């Protein structure tokens, strides 16, 4: 094999591998992954003689609430379950005369925006579920939620308006999602008000807070939903997910060995 052919072989084999590492490096720097919020504990463990720190992030507890279709829903193990979908959540009530109609309208915009970003023919972005929790469940019956849903043309395929026990909903809002809330702003002090949309990943870990009345914040939320959808689920890791660098090193060493072997063969033939 002459020098030209040998060089061509090296280029042909090295170019794809080099491109992979370049693209991977640029991707890490370009994508701003939504952070995780609220640490429950930090555990130190020994793995192959090395101490590793494992962070346990706060995960939202189980829920059992009723949607505008009269279905009981929960994160999992129910007829209408959320599985490992990305969640966008907010809080409202149907008698709210201030921010709630605007918040629902903006959630509708977000649902439509994600739907339009899918392939032609797709009806919904099925990897994300929108949840609007009523903070006035005593008045917000299934029938009232259905009226509200019809008013804003809510698509029940991936958006549920939820009612249930008031204590559970308030505990979820204040203690679990840790939203800074105020009362009814002088209009109805019996109910909390917050304009925040909350982004939650498939492991029920909070990944971001966004102003539901601000167009820039909503655009950022739309972007973060898409980025989060590309994040690998730790519960279902790929066999090669942690081995790509090792494969790359082995590939390079193989190329070097092949080159040395071919050069050696060429020298032997020239003697």
| Residues 127 and 116: beta-carbon distance below 8 Å | no
Q: What is the pLDDT of residues 160-189, one digit of tens each?
A: 999 999 999 999 999 999 986 654 444 444
Determine the average pLDDT of the residues in 144-154. 96
Least reliable range by pLDDT among 121-125, 150-154, 172-176: 121-125
pLDDT on residue 184: 45
pLDDT on residue 249: 58
| Residues 107 and 212: beta-carbon distance below 8 Å | yes
pLDDT on residue 210: 96
CATH of the domain at 89: 3.40.30.10
Q: What is the pLDDT of residues 16-75, one digit of tens each?
A: 555 555 545 544 545 689 999 999 998 888 777 788 888 999 999 988 999 999 999 887
pLDDT on residue 204: 93
In a domain, 179, yes or no: yes
Report the C-alpha gap between 12 and 19 in whole angstroms: 12
What is the number of H-type helices and E-type strands within the chain? 6, 10
Q: What is the pLDDT of residues 189-199, one digit of tens each?
A: 456 778 999 99
102 and 226 co-located in one domain: yes
The b/e string for 142-159 (b: 16+ C-beta within 10 A; e otherwise) is: eebbbebbeebebeeebb
225 and 268 co-located in one domain: no
Give residue 138's pLDDT band: very low, low, confident or very high (50, 70, 90).
very high
In a domain, 132, yes or no: yes
pLDDT on residue 268: 67
| Residues 134 and 90: beta-carbon distance below 8 Å | no
267 and 183 co-located in one domain: no
In a domain, 200, yes or no: yes
The model carries a pTM of: 0.71
Q: Which domain holds residue 204?
A: 59-230
Counting the structural domains of the chain, the total is 2
98 and 68 co-located in one domain: yes
Q: What is the pLDDT of residues 227-248, one digit of tens each?
A: 998 886 544 444 444 455 555 5
Give the CA dihedral 165, 159, 203, 66, nearest 10 degrees. 20
């Amino acid at each position: 094999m002459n020098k030209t052919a040998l060089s061509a072989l090296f280029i042909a084999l090295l170019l794809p591998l080099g491109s992979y590492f370049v693209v991977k490096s640029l991707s890490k720097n370009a994508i701003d992954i939504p952070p995780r919020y609220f640490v429950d504990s930090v555990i130190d463990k020994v793995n192959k003689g090395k101490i590793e720190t494992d962070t346990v992030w706060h995960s939202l507890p189980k829920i059992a609430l009723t949607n505008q279709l009269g279905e009981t829903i929960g994160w999992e193990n129910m007829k209408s379950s959320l599985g490992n979908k990305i969640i966008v959540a907010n809080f409202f009530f149907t008698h709210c005369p201030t921010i709630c109609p605007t918040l629902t309208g903006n959630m509708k915009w977000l649902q439509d925006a994600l739907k339009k970003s899918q392939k032609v023919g797709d009806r919904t972005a099925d990897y994300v579920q929108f949840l609007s929790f009523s903070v006035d469940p005593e008045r917000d019956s299934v029938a009232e939620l259905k009226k509200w849903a019809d008013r804003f043309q809510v698509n029940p395929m991936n958006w549920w308006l939820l009612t249930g026990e008031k204590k559970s909903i308030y505990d979820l809002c204040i203690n679990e999602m840790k939203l800074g809330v105020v009362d009814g702003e002088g209009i109805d002090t019996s109910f909390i008000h917050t304009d925040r949309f909350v982004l939650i990943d498939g492991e029920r870990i909070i990944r971001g807070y966004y102003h539901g009345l601000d167009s820039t914040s909503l655009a950022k939320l739309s972007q973060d939903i898409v980025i989060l959808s590309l994040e690998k689920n730790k519960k279902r890791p790929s066999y090669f997910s942690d081995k790509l660098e090792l494969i790359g090193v082995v590939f390079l060493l193989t190329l070097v060995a092949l080159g040395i072997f071919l050069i050696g063969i060429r020298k032997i033939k020239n003697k």
